[in-house]
Amino acid sequence: MLKMTLACCKLYISESRNKAALESIERAAKLFHEARLINKFEDETYNRVGYTLVSKLPPKLPSGFSPLKDAPFAMVESAYKAIDFNVHSGSHPRLGVVDHICLHPLANATLEQTANIARSLARDIGTKLEVPIFLYGAAHEKGRTLDSIRRELGYFMPNTRGNIWAGGPNSENLPICPDEGPSQVDPSKGVIVIGSTRWVDNYNVPIFSTNISAVRRIAKVIGERGGGLPSVQAMALAHGDGTIEVACNLLDPSKVGGDKVQVEVERLAREEGMVAGKGYFTDLTQEEIIETFLDNEDSSVDHYSNDL
């Protein structure tokens, strides 16, 4: 029986084509051996990379200390030195160079523990790196949801023609007040959304079509907000020539997993006269992440470094 306490931090950066920038971010993370990089997922079309870090949590964390705060902070700081949001473009929505950070409790950890780390990380980034931070989930005093804060910040609307998000914010003024950091945006950095929730799976299903309107209808019907599958959030994103993905957040994968999403997207695509391909997860499962961490706990060469 697993007795140690484990937690996870997922960190999404708006860059995948600048390899030198990614290498500097990864070097910064590896300075903190207690927080291990378990997985890296790159998508050049979206121009986005997701990192998964895992660490043990001691029974009582000293004030202001956690490997899952210090390692992500170093990665964020490195990202701002290496990436200019003004020259970024991709077909995935984003709010900043570092777009999204989320902490999840794993084995024996509590949501309160990860929420405390998230708030502490947000304070440090907001104050020391002077970036507006918006909190959500257990890290926010009222439990604000990720999709609601993104809607308020215009996350789901492309800021150029077509389906591409390009450059920094059009205005330095924010429509709502951030929870941490300055009230104005540095266009070279953007803003960050930081939260803490129970485990979330990300599952994308490709549809071989250029009809973005039809795939948006499918995404709307799939998601809970449109009366579809409970605990599922979905959006349609262009993904290269001739392919549009239904990108889904599975907020309770034990109840609605990728298999159910796959069947439903295939059915709806057929009704629209289109063909859906096999979907994929953008990260390991919760169980695989724990297993990978434990398998490599005593190893000097971890799973992640073998992938580089």
Residues annotated as part of the active site: 92
Query: Burial level of 305, CB count in 10 A (0-12/13-18/19+)?
Result: middle
Contact 53, 38 (CB under 8 A): yes
Q: Are 102 and 10 in contact (CB under 8 A)?
A: yes
Backbone torsions φ then ψ of 47, nearest 5 degrees:
55, 60
Question: At residue 207, what are phi and psi to the nearest 5 degrees?
Answer: -120, 130
Distance (Å, rounded) from C-alpha 275 to C-alpha 54?
Answer: 37
Cα–Cα dist 289/183, whole Å: 36
> b/e string for 80-96 if b means 16 or more Cβ within 10 A?
bebbbbeebebbbbbbb
